[in-house]
Chains A and B, each alone.
Chain A
Amino acid sequence: MPAGSLFNQSARHPLSSPRGIWSALHIDPILLFLLLTLIAGGLFVLYSGADRNLEVVKAQGIRMGVALVVMFVFAQLDPAVFRRWAPWLFTAGLIGLAAVLLVGVGAKGAQRWLAIPGLPRFQPSELMKLVVPMMAAWYLSRHYLPPRLRHVAVALLIVLAPMAMIILQPDLGTSLLVGAAGIFVVFFAGMGWRLIGAFLAMVSVAAPLMWFFVMREYQKQRVLTLLDPQSDPLGAGWNIIQSKTAIGSGGMDGKGWLQGTQSHLEFLPESHTDFIVAVLAEEFGFVGMLVLLVLYLLIVLRCLYIAATAQDSFSRLLAGALTMTFFIYVFVNVGMVSGLLPVVGVPLPLVSYGGTSGVTLMAAFGVLMSVHTHRRMISA
């Protein structure tokens, strides 16, 4: 069956689904509700984290509006479209990354942006968070699953190539997230447990090598600081000490909205971007954190359900990988702010202010909705 016919088939039965208006709009109402709840709650916390700066909240609201539109657009596309476009998008992405390395613009010693005249500036690496799992899913779903060793090897190559290019920018955080997205695809595809064991062993060997050959001095410093923040309490350790203080002083039910002293008295750095979860923890306490984490859990559960009920391997692999990447965002951010993980520039998804990550994330949710709403009633 030619790949294009799937799209046509779907187009022939636009209202074959019995799910009514939501299905017609290609929106999953449960996921949308959870996302809107998260975004709304996030704006609420952002108002406090930005020290009552309504402009910041407005800008974030607009950005989230744009992201919702992007999600809606992605949801309209059939998963087959993503599958068909995956190789081309991947190629374009690699070219983009190469271009970033050659002619990219950026700040603080890192080239991450591509400024093409007539287009808004964008980060190809951000795009790769979607495209790499797409490409890996495309490749692996062309073969029997579970994949054979050489297919796994090729898939890993698909993941490692962009990762390496992103590391060179250098942007370790994004590189690891892109890598994670790709690896999740391979995992979901059924990579053998022995192979996984061998892979983990390789990673644990590679980690020290990374330490010596890949990681920059400031990145090493972050890791060292995590292990002993008191070694430099006013320098590198400041962020982590202050965010732990903010979280810890929040206690069971927090200091109350807008009452956080750590953030409002400017002890907490980045209180409206990467460290916003500390604001939430300080002002809403352990209870607030539980609510937030449960909300994220519900989103992950819904998305995993969508993945599990997807109709073809490509959709399943892509949906599963995107879901887990989203969760990794949450884990890395909260882990970093609470002092479990080194400080890497990972925002709290859909809550932290700024960046293009919100748009990418919502695009991913658009893909998930697309997967869920373009199912054909074969079994019916």
Chain B
Amino acid sequence: MPWGEFKDIAAERRLFQRRAFVMLLLVFVLLGVLIARMYHLQVVEHDIYTTLSDKNRVQVQSVAPPRGLVYDRNDVLLAENRPVFSVTLVPERVGDMEQTLSKLRGMLSISEEDMERFQRRLLEPRRPFQELPLRYDLDEQEIARLAVHRHELPGVEVSAELVRYYPHSTLTAHALGYVGRINRQELQRIDPVNYAGTNYIGKSGVERFYEELLHGQVGYQHVETNARGRTLRVLERENPVPGEDIQLHMDLRLQRLAHDLLDGRRGAIIAIEPSTGGILALASVPGFDANLFVTGIGVEAYRSLSSSVDKPLFNRALRGQYPPGSTLKPMLAIAALDSNAVTRDKTIWDPGYYQLNSGGRRWRDWKRGGHGWVDLKSAVAQSCDIYFYEAAVTMGVDTMHQYLSDFGFGEDATLDVAGALSGLLPSSDWKRAIHSEPWYPGDSVNLGIGQGFMLATPLQLATATSVIANRGHWAEPRLLKDIKGDQSIDEVLPTGTHQSIELENPDDWEFVVESMAEVMHGSKGTARGAARGAPYRMAGKTGTAQVFSLAEDEEYDEEEIRERLRDHALFVGFAPVEDPKIAVAVIVENGGSGSGTAAPVARAMFDAWLLDFSEAGSELVAGSSAEGSN
């Protein structure tokens, strides 16, 4: 049929127009469907999708509060925070972990140790979308390199965080402690909300004890992120409450001096201000660099520290438990006088040895041949063992235990010194319980010169000395001096529970103090060499703690004993006698004699505190160095 012939053109047009009308209806119906759909999504369910959209882009992030700073008594900064850039990965956002890690290795130097630690953290339980650090302390080149390649590395971020830094780290490590990464046990203990943005927690020392105070309150920010999780801007922010800045009693100059005095040796020095109990110096030598522990110490470095024979990680001042030796004699003198075991005038003949009953075991005096006739004062001054053997036996263990407890032995008497140990103050009950044996008089003999079972930490010795310096008044040792913010120190510092030691005759305090002054200034005082030329009077007591005990009557030659088997040299003392400003305890491990090694150390501490560092001291001695006076 040829085209166009016999066709009813008008009919075809009408047919088309009818069909076009049907199509028009279809168009309206379908458009109606679309509009209804849009209305449903945009008006009816608008709130749902707004929420979804906001959830997409807005994330709540916790903002860690900056940790409070720590100052010494002269406002010298001991612990601060500095920004450290680290590269972190969010495993949920990293596509191919293997590939990403190998790319990063090409850009940064990542040690095997970093890698191991990261892999370990990857396996540990953690919060979803938590950033896992891979390497800390990036340098600027590495940061730049990461910035250039960041589009290839989804889930990889360079994050800046404030990390604890100890400017005088080796000096203060044992006193301040340090912070470190929160570990799994700590994760159980802490408030997960307040620590949501925090990676570090106080592990020891002041950092641990005042963790709550130093940490502050977490803040929040609502940030807008894109689909790849990059933060674009901060929408809303609730600032964290920074941790409180605190001030310690410690004087960094004195602390440094203490370290210098013990340099090359092993030992501890504690200096306390008797009137306040404030710890002026707390040195345990050798120390260590606490900064190593903050971001996580390497296995190698840790092994070399922990396996060192010098035990740098061991806090001798708080945790070193030594036989106090003769440094216990002033406290025992108080006990003996107050319990009427001796009188001030009681004199004995010291033949050089002591026997409980004739023919029995002989306890030697440190001085061969004995001191001859000695009274209490000279017994202290010359450190006569025989006098104290006898007094101890007369008092008996229970009396000694009572008085020594009052001086804070056998307990941790500190207010805020984390990790301080209580030593060992033996009693008859203790011996029966632990050794299933009764207390023998011979045990009392040993206790009389601070040997035998008795153990005390340098901090305890300094505390007891400070109580004597205070003439019986207790001011528990403490580190915290002040809080810089609004908070009152009373809310934070535990209150002391110790009663002042009341003696029947309070004059006994002066008597014992005078006998300690004799140690320093008397013609036969054991430490008279150390006090020579001082423009003030000081009181003290030397001591020697045996590392191993010698058999009866055995002679020993210092030279022949290997250095590490030599006696520990001890000294306790305070100055000035009349108005004590500083009490110290010194222990020099394997230092030999207390008088020769420990006492001069204490003298140097006294001089520094009373003369060099104090204005009153400068007046005391015309022409004394003005260095550090304020």
- For window 251-277 of B, CB contacts with A under 8 Å fall at none
Q: How far is the CA of A145 from the CA of B15 in the complex (A)?
A: 8
Of B30, B42, B225, B228, which is within 8 A of A252 by CB?
B42
Is residue B17 contacting chain A, with contact meaning CB distance below 8 A?
Answer: yes
Q: How far is the CA of A145 from the CA of B9 in the complex (A)?
A: 9
Of A188, A296, A338, which is within 8 A of B19 by CB?
A188
Of B1, B13, B39, which is within 8 A of A142 by CB?
B1
B interface footprint on A273-305 (CB within 8 Å = 1, 0 otherwise): 000000001000110011001001100110010
Q: How far is the CA of A297 from the CA of B32 in the complex (A)?
A: 11
A248 and B12 contact, Cβ closer than 8 Å, known pairs A265-B232, A267-B56: no
Is residue A345 contacting chain B, with contact meaning CB distance below 8 A?
Answer: no
Q: State whether B35 touches A290 (Cβ < 8 A).
A: yes
Nearest CB in chain A: distance from B40 CB, A: 9
- For window 17-57 of B, CB contacts with A under 8 Å fall at 17, 19-20, 23-24, 27, 30-31, 33-35, 37-39, 41-43, 45-46, 48-50, 52-54, 56-57
A residues within 8 A CB of B556? none
Of B15, B42, B52, which is within 8 A of A285 by CB?
B42
Q: How far is the CA of A266 from the CA of B225 in the complex (A)?
A: 10
Nearest CB in chain B: distance from A222 CB, A: 18
Q: State whether B31 touches A286 (Cβ < 8 A).
A: no
Return the chain B residue nearest A193 by Cβ.
B22
Interface size on A, residues (CB 8 A): 54
Of B24, B38, B232, which is within 8 A of A281 by CB?
B38
A residues within 8 A CB of B359? none
A residues within 8 A CB of B48? 248
A residues within 8 A CB of B6? 144
B residues within 8 A CB of A47? none
B residues within 8 A CB of A313? 7, 12, 16
Nearest CB in chain B: distance from A235 CB, A: 13
Number of A-B contacts (CB under 8 A): 147
Q: How far is the CA of A243 from the CA of B603 in the complex (A)?
A: 80
A244 and B49 contact, Cβ closer than 8 Å, known pairs A142-B1, A289-B42, A290-B35: yes
Q: How far is the CA of A297 from the CA of B1 in the complex (A)?
A: 39
A146 and B15 contact, Cβ closer than 8 Å, known pairs A290-B35, A293-B34, A340-B37: yes
B residues within 8 A CB of A245? 49, 52-53, 56
Q: State whether B226 touches A265 (Cβ < 8 A).
A: yes
Nearest CB in chain A: distance from B23 CB, A: 6
Q: State whether A338 touches B31 (Cβ < 8 A).
A: no
A residues within 8 A CB of B50? 248-249, 251
B residues within 8 A CB of A285? 42
The B contact surface, by secondary structure, is: helix
Q: State whether A141 touches B57 (Cβ < 8 A).
A: no
Q: State whether B24 touches A304 (Cβ < 8 A).
A: yes
Stretch of A38-46, A152-160, A327-335, A355-363 lying at the B interface: A327-335
Give the most central of A145, A249, A250, A293: most B CB within 10 Å.
A249
B interface footprint on A205-227 (CB within 8 Å = 1, 0 otherwise): 00000000000000000000000
Q: How far is the CA of A57 from the CA of B405 in the complex (A)?
A: 88
Nearest CB in chain A: distance from B131 CB, A: 20
Q: How far is the CA of A290 from the CA of B35 in the complex (A)?
A: 7
B residues within 8 A CB of A145? 7, 12, 15-16
Q: State whether B49 touches A249 (Cβ < 8 A).
A: yes
- For window 224-276 of A, CB contacts with B under 8 Å fall at 241-242, 244-252, 261-262, 265-267
A304 and B34 contact, Cβ closer than 8 Å, known pairs A247-B42, A249-B53, A286-B42: no
Return the chain B residue nearest A138 by Cβ.
B3
Q: How far is the CA of A320 from the CA of B23 in the complex (A)?
A: 9
Give the most central of B17, B50, B53, B227: most A CB within 10 Å.
B53
Return the chain B residue nearest A267 by Cβ.
B227
Q: State whether A244 touches B41 (Cβ < 8 A).
A: yes
Of A248, A289, A320, which is within 8 A of B46 by CB?
A248
Q: How far is the CA of A313 from the CA of B43 in the complex (A)?
A: 44
Is residue A85 contacting chain B, with contact meaning CB distance below 8 A?
Answer: no
Is residue A24 contacting chain B, with contact meaning CB distance below 8 A?
Answer: no
Return the chain A residue nearest B39 by Cβ.
A286
Q: How far is the CA of A246 from the CA of B45 in the complex (A)?
A: 12
Q: State whether B16 touches A267 (Cβ < 8 A).
A: no
Q: State whether B19 touches A335 (Cβ < 8 A).
A: no
Is residue B244 contacting chain A, with contact meaning CB distance below 8 A?
Answer: no
Is residue B623 contacting chain A, with contact meaning CB distance below 8 A?
Answer: no
Give the most central of B27, B37, B46, B48: most A CB within 10 Å.
B27
Q: State whether A316 touches B24 (Cβ < 8 A).
A: no
Nearest CB in chain B: distance from A286 CB, A: 4
Q: How far is the CA of A293 from the CA of B30 in the complex (A)?
A: 11
Nearest CB in chain A: distance from B41 CB, A: 4
Is residue B125 contacting chain A, with contact meaning CB distance below 8 A?
Answer: no
A residues within 8 A CB of B72? none
Q: State whether B57 touches A265 (Cβ < 8 A).
A: yes
Q: How far is the CA of A331 from the CA of B38 in the complex (A)?
A: 12
Of A251, A308, A334, which is within 8 A of B34 by CB?
A334
Query: Can you spell out 5 A-B residue pairs with CB atoms less than 8 angstroms apart?
Result: A146-B15, A187-B19, A242-B56, A248-B45, A313-B12
Closest 9 A/B residue pairs (Cβ):
A248-B49, A249-B53, A265-B226, A266-B227, A286-B42, A248-B41, A249-B49, A245-B52, A267-B227
> Can you add 19 more A-B contacts, CB < 8 Å, to A146-B15, A188-B16, A251-B42?
A144-B6, A144-B7, A247-B49, A249-B53, A251-B50, A252-B42, A265-B232, A267-B56, A286-B38, A293-B35, A297-B27, A304-B20, A308-B13, A313-B12, A316-B12, A316-B13, A327-B30, A338-B37, A340-B33
Give residues in B with beta carbon < 8 Å to A.
1, 3-4, 6-7, 9, 12-13, 15-17, 19-20, 23-24, 27, 30-31, 33-35, 37-39, 41-43, 45-46, 48-50, 52-54, 56-57, 224-228, 232
